[in-house]
Amino acid sequence: MKAAQFSRFGGPEVLEIVELPDPHAGAGEIRIAVRAAGVNASDWKKRQGVMGQELPQTMGYEAAGVVDEIGDGVEGVAVGDRVFGLGGDGAAQAERAVLSAWAAVPASLDFAEAAALPSAVETAARALDQLGVHDGGTLLVSGASGSIGSAAVQLAVARGAQVIGTGSPATHDRLRELGAVPVDYGDGMPDRVRTVAPHGIDRALDVAGSGILPELIDLAGGADQVLTVADFAGAQEHGVRFSRGDAGRALYALDQVAYLVASGRFTLPVGRTFPLAEVAEAHRVGESGTVRGKLVLLV
């Protein structure tokens, strides 16, 4: 099968499309013929050598496609089903991929839209769980207009929270559509938050990693009420929790978001698609930050 891979660390130019043996589903897993695979910031961090030093490395943790092999002990899914999900071996940007967690693709979504969901949804749901956003309260999401931020806003609203989301003025209409009260990021952000939430906020989630953890701690009334998914160094410096997948992943969120999509209560737009062969260009575009919305490879 064809798959994205790199054999040395560096810029997007180190990415190649290579021929690899087909993977096979183990116990509790399924294999899909991939139709679309999501691209994430973790992909270029791997490529740069920031995450793991082994070589060569394949790419991708999320994909959507058609089930073509089922492992032992798997029930509730059949060959030919349309699914989206997560794989643990980091090789989803390929013609075939093994998934360890999955859900049925909602009828209203195409494969590209479905492939945009898993990583953002799992990360957002895990962060909300770790923050204790379950039954209301006021949540501030810093960096609410990106994929993870947008997912966090919608999942928090579904849990009954009042959400304030920071973003540029160009994103405010979108944030309102998602159910958040928008505020501009940048200088003066804490005062703007206090204006729209005069009784204060209960928790804050940092998705942007823009160095504002001290402001979030002050707004939320303590470091224990703040969590970041983007600023590891800042979390260590300021005593804030950093959300890690190895602390327990929110895999239940795949089925949950499929239900929310089907009921018209969740959307995560695709910003741009690329053929698998143009994975290097997808990395260039992703690192430039010029496209709003999820980047997806089509297979």
Distance (Å, rounded) from C-alpha 227 to C-alpha 233?
A: 13
Query: Residue 247 above 80 pLDDT?
Result: no
Query: Residue 111 above 80 pLDDT?
Result: yes
Angle between helices 147-158 and 253-262 (to 10 degrees): 80
Question: For the chain, what percent of residues have pLDDT higher than 70?
Answer: 100
Q: What is the pLDDT of residue 104?
A: 98
CATH of the domain at 150: 3.40.50.720
Interval 67-106: pLDDT, tens: 999 999 999 999 999 999 999 789 999 999 999 999 999 9
Q: What share of the chain is helix, strand, coil (3-state, %, to 5)?
A: 35, 25, 40
Cα of 66 vs its chain's centroid, Å: 21
Q: Which residues contact 150 (CB under 8 A, 6 or more apart)?
A: 120, 144, 174, 178, 268
Identity of the amino acid at 203: R
C-alpha count within 13 angstroms, C-beta hemisphere, residue 205: 32
Identity of the amino acid at 2: K
Using pLDDT thresholds of 50, 70 and 90, give the confidence band for residue 149. Answer: very high
Examine residue 255 and state whether it is found in any structural domain, yes or no. no
Query: Residue 246 above 80 pLDDT?
Result: no
Examine residue 257 and state whether it is found in any structural domain, yes or no. no
Query: Residue 245 above 80 pLDDT?
Result: no
Q: For residue 80, what are the domain limits? A: 2-116+269-298
Q: What is the pLDDT of residue 143?
A: 94
Does 237 share its domain with 130? yes
Q: Is the pTM of this model over 0.75?
A: yes
- Report residue 80 as tokens: 């030919």
Examine residue 260 and state whether it is found in any structural domain, yes or no. no
Interval 210-219: pLDDT, tens: 899 999 999 9
Does 239 share its domain with 136? yes
Examine residue 35 and state whether it is found in any structural domain, yes or no. yes
Does 180 share its domain with 95? no
SS3 174: helix
Distance (Å, rounded) from C-alpha 40 to C-alpha 283?
A: 9
Does 112 share its domain with 131? no
Examine residue 29 and state whether it is found in any structural domain, yes or no. yes
Examine residue 193 and state whether it is found in any structural domain, yes or no. yes
- Number of domains within the chain: 2
Cross-strand bridge partners of residue 17: 4
